[in-house]
Amino acid sequence: MRFSPRVRKVSPSVTLGLNARTLELKKQGRDIIAFGVGEPDIDTPDPICEAGIHAIRSKVARYTATGGTPELKAAICKYIKGIYDLDYEPACVMASSGAKQVLFNSIMATVGDGDELIIPTPYWTSYPEMVYLANATPVFVETTAEEGFKLTAEKLMAAITDKTRAVLLNSPSNPTGITYARQDLEDLAEVLRSKDIWILSDDIYCTLLFDDNKFASFAAMPGFRDKTILINGVSKTFSMTGWRIGFAAGSKEAIAAMTKIQDHSTSCPNAIAQKAAAEALQRGPSLTEEWVLSLSDRRNLMLSLIEAVPGLRAIPPQGAFYLWVNVEAYLGRSGGPANALRLADKLLVDGGVSTIPGEAFGAPGYLRLSFAVTEKDIREGISRMARFLASL
C-alpha cells in the first residue's frame, strides 16, 4: 500500500526518538543522566491539579467550543495582558491541544502550495516538518554564534522572495536560549513593514528569562499586531507538559481560520485540562517563580562545568532551560564520531548521558543539554561527558 507524498517528506522526530531510547535503556536498568528531555523538572503546582480534580468530580467531561471555553479564553486574555501588555478580546484568542497544535494550525492557515516560510537556524525540530505537511517550502536562514544566533535584518531581507508568506521566530529559543530584545525586533520590523508577510511568534518560553532580560513581542511593534500570531501555552511556565493546552492570539480573521482547521482535526481541547489551564493562567507565573529562579543557578552551574571541559564552547542562554554546546572539536577524529548525531548516540550508550544532537535543529556540530534537572545530575552528567570525550 502507498502513502501520500506529504508523509514521505516528513522525518521522524529525533528528539522524541532519542527520548524513547533513553527510557528503554532506563527500563533495562541502565543509569542514564537525561539532559535531553524538554520539560520542567517540577510537578504541576497543587492549585492547578486541584482545579483539574474538581473538574473531574463536577463531571466536566463534555465537548466545549472548538477554541476553548469562555472561562479559558478570558484567562488567556488576562495572561496575555500581564505578559505582553496587550489587550485581546476573546474572539482573538483560541486554545488547542498543546502549543504544538497551535503552531500547526498557524502554519496550515498561513502557507500552502508554492509558498515559502522563513525559519532561522537553529530551529525547533518540528518547524520544517509542519511546513512540509502544509505543502509549503521552509527557507532556512543560518545564524551564527557571532550573531548571537539571532536573525539579522540583512539576512532576513536576503531570504525574502515573492513566494514568502511567513516568518517564524522563537524567543526565548529552543535550542539556543537566545532572546530577541525589542531593538532586535524593531530592526526586523523595518524589513517587514511594507510586506504582506505573517509573523508566527513562538513564545512558549516567554516567562523563563535570566539576567534581567525582558520579553519583547512582535505584536507590540507598531503596525504588526494583526500580522502577528502569538503561539504560547502552559507546558513550560506551569509545568503542564502532559495536560496539553496551548493557545494563540491574533486578529479575528487569523483565529477564525485556525479554528476552522481545528474544527476538522481535533475539535476542542480536553475539557478537564481547560479548567486546570484557566486556573494556571488566572494565577499567573508567580506559581512557579521559585523554580524559574533556581533555573538561573543551574544554568550558571552547567555553563561553568561545560567551559571547564577542553574543546567545548557555549554561550550563556538568556532564557528557556537549554545549553547549546559546540562539540566540533570532538567530531571527525580518527575512529571517533563523524557528526553530533553519532556523538549523541555513543554518549548515550557508552557514556550514560542523554542529549539531543544539533542535526535535530538544523545545526550540526552542537548538542542541546537541558539544565532543568537537579544540580546533582548536572554535576554527574557533565563529569560523565568529560570522561567520555576524553576517551575519544
Query: Which grid coordinates are listed for 71?
Result: 472561562
What ranges in 238-374 are assigned the alpha helix state H? Answer: 252-263, 271-283, 289-307, 340-351
**How far is the CA of 46 from the CAs of 41, 43, 238, 273, 277, in angstroms?**
15, 8, 11, 14, 12
Mean pLDDT of all residues in 224-245: 98
Q: What does the pLDDT average to over 143-157?
A: 97
The predicted-structure confidence for 161-198, as pLDDT tens digits, reads as follows 999 999 999 999 999 999 999 999 999 999 999 999 99
CA atoms within 13 A on the CB side of 385: 30
Going from the C-alpha of 60 to that of each of 53, 57, 68, 248, 332, the distances in angstroms are: 10, 8, 13, 23, 57
When mean pLDDT is compared across 20-34, 191-205, 246-260, 264-278, the lowest value belongs to 20-34
Output the nine-digit C-alpha cell for 162.
515573492
Mean pLDDT of 378-382: 98
Examine the pLDDT at 335 and tell me if it is beyond 90.
no
CATH topology identical between 5-43+288-391 and 48-284: no
**DSSP-derived secondary structure for 356-386:** EEGGGGT-TTEEEEE--S-HHHHHHHHHHHH
User: Would you say residue 22 has pLDDT above 90?
Assistant: no
Q: What is the pLDDT of residue 368?
A: 98
- pLDDT interval class at 334 (50, 70, 90): confident
Q: How far apart are CA 356 and CA 322, in angstroms?
A: 11
Question: Is 206's pLDDT higher than 80?
Answer: yes
Interacting residues of 316 by C-beta distance below 8 A, sequence separation 6+: 177, 210, 211, 299, 303
Confidence of residue 16 (pLDDT cuts 50, 70, 90): confident
Region 156-162: what's the mean pLDDT? 98
Q: What is the pLDDT of residues 69-122, one digit of tens each?
A: 999 999 999 999 999 999 999 999 999 999 999 999 999 999 999 999 999 999
CA–CA distance, 333 with 311 (Å, rounded to integer): 13
C-alpha torsion 383→384→387→392, nearest 10: -140
Domain parsing of the chain, residue ranges: 5-43+288-391, 48-284
In terms of Cβ atoms closer than 10 Å to its own Cβ (0-12, 13-18, 19+), residue 346 is middle
> What average pLDDT does this structure show over 361-376?
97
pLDDT for the residue numbered 20? 81
Nearest Cα neighbor of 269 from 311, 307, 228, 234 is 234
Predicted local distance difference test score (pLDDT) of residue 18: 77
* 5-43+288-391: CATH, from 3.40.50.10190, 3.90.1150.10, 3.90.700.10, 3.40.50.11740: 3.90.1150.10
The fold of the 48-284 domain, in CATH, is Aspartate Aminotransferase; domain 2 (3.40.640)
Q: Is the pLDDT of residue 37 over 90?
A: no
Q: Quote the pLDDT of residue 24.
A: 86
